[in-house]
Amino acid sequence: MHFLTIDDLTTDELATVLDDAAALKRAQADGTPHRLLAGRTLAMLFEKPSTRTRLSFEVGMTQLGGHAVFLGEDDIQLGRGEPVADTACALGLYADAVMARVDSHDDLETLAANAGVPVVNGLSDRAHPAQTLADLLTLREVVGDTGTVAWVGDANNVAASFLVGAAMAGYDVRAATPPEFGFEESVVARAEASADATGSEVSVGHDPEAAVAGADAVYTDVWVSMGDEAEREARLAAFEGFQVDADLLGDAAFMHCLPAHRGEEATAGVVDGPNSVVWRQAENRLHAQKALLVDLVA
């Protein structure tokens, strides 16, 4: 099994990963050994920079008694033109699983088709489901099992996975994006199908005030994702009015996958303020991904 999008898991499997993540978080805090992947290796391929994803997967494998190998694109033959499919074959010969951060989601699918071991998405242009696992663990901790969450800003990779995943976990989700940077119809359809199954509601629009009204948590991400730099000026103009400031946030929890651009998608006062749970999200990357790796590999 692979984990390329959040709904590669069933709703029940997602709930199990989150339960396991909470248990592993307690075990780590208590100092209870949990070397569930002793002798196992994760190959980690990066075509883009990363702080949290790299560290949380690598440290997670160490805590599980296994090992992780960091492979920057230009450190391996992929950077000199070896095909993605051949790279996948090679990684699968040595590693028990592959985690990859790629420019194009299509390359993740090629990796998955050829590696012969589970492939995990560490961020693509279309999705960031490993982030969503941490986000949902965070929501469980700070909001509870039910509630309303709002997405304000770009309908990017993080947003697409969160919209679907939050609906799978039973939260009502409301999103506000500029019309020209809205969600793909297929993403909204997947979120709506999940919401139908769990009894939650999904709404997608263009009004930040409407999206956040009564929300328990408000989530945003950068306006210029990696790979979108050429659109920077157009994006900054389109996102005017979508900044999360103290007034828009109100009493809700503030969520961000990080890194944050203070003064663009959110004010510094919000990112660093009392309602911010951004560092809890970052910590939960570790626990959620350990649970995922155990479920995929052990």
On whether 146 is known to bind a ligand per the annotation, the reply is no
Q: Which of ligand NVA, ligand CP, none lies near 102, with the C-beta cut-off 5 to 8 A by kind? A: none
What is the residue whose two structure tokens read 């509870």?
Answer: 144
Three-class secondary structure of residue 111 per DSSP: helix
Three-class secondary structure of residue 115 per DSSP: helix
Q: By CB under 6 A, is residue 52 in contact with ligand CP?
A: yes
Nearer to ligand CP (CB atom), residue 62 or residue 77: 62
Nearer to ligand CP (CB atom), residue 148 or residue 161: 161
Alpha helices in the chain (DSSP H): 11-30, 52-63, 84-94, 105-115, 129-142, 157-168, 185-198, 208-212, 232-238, 246-249, 268-271, 278-297
Nearest approach, Cβ of 232 to ligand NVA (angstroms)?
12
Nearer to ligand NVA (CB atom), residue 10 or residue 51: 51
Three-class secondary structure of residue 214 per DSSP: coil
Nearest approach, Cβ of 159 to ligand NVA (angstroms)?
8
d(CA 212, CA 218): 7
On whether 140 is known to bind a ligand per the annotation, the reply is no
On whether 275 is known to bind a ligand per the annotation, the reply is no
**Which residues on neighbouring strands pair with residue 172, listed in sequence order?**
148
d(CA 86, CA 92): 10
Q: Which of ligand NVA, ligand CP, none lies near 225, with the C-beta cut-off 5 to 8 A by kind? A: ligand NVA
Judging by DSSP bridges, how do beta strands 172-176 and 41-46 pair with one another?
Answer: unpaired
For the annotated catalytic residues, the residue numbers are 101, 128, 131, 221, 257, 285
d(CA 142, CA 4): 27
Nearer to ligand NVA (CB atom), residue 64 or residue 134: 134
Contact residue for ligand CP among 53, 63, 132, 161 (CB under 6 A): 53
- Contact residues for ligand NVA (CB under 6 A)? 123, 156-158, 221-222, 225-226, 257
Q: Which of ligand NVA, ligand CP, none lies near 51, with the C-beta cut-off 5 to 8 A by kind? A: ligand CP
Nearest approach, Cβ of 48 to ligand CP (angstroms)?
8
List of long-range contacts for 182-191, beta carbons under 8 Å, 24+ apart: 182/155, 182/206, 183/155, 183/159, 184/155, 184/160, 187/155, 187/160, 187/163, 188/163, 190/7, 190/164, 191/163, 191/164, 191/166, 191/167
* Mask for 110-149, x = binds ligand CP (CB under 6 A): -------------x-------x------------------
**Which residues on neighbouring strands pair with residue 120, listed in sequence order?**
3, 99
Residue list, annotated binding site: 50-53, 77, 101, 128-131, 157, 221, 225-226, 257-258, 285
Footprint of ligand CP (CB under 6 A): 50-53, 123, 131, 257-258
Residue list, annotated binding site for carbamoyl phosphate: 50-53, 77, 101, 128-131, 257-258, 285
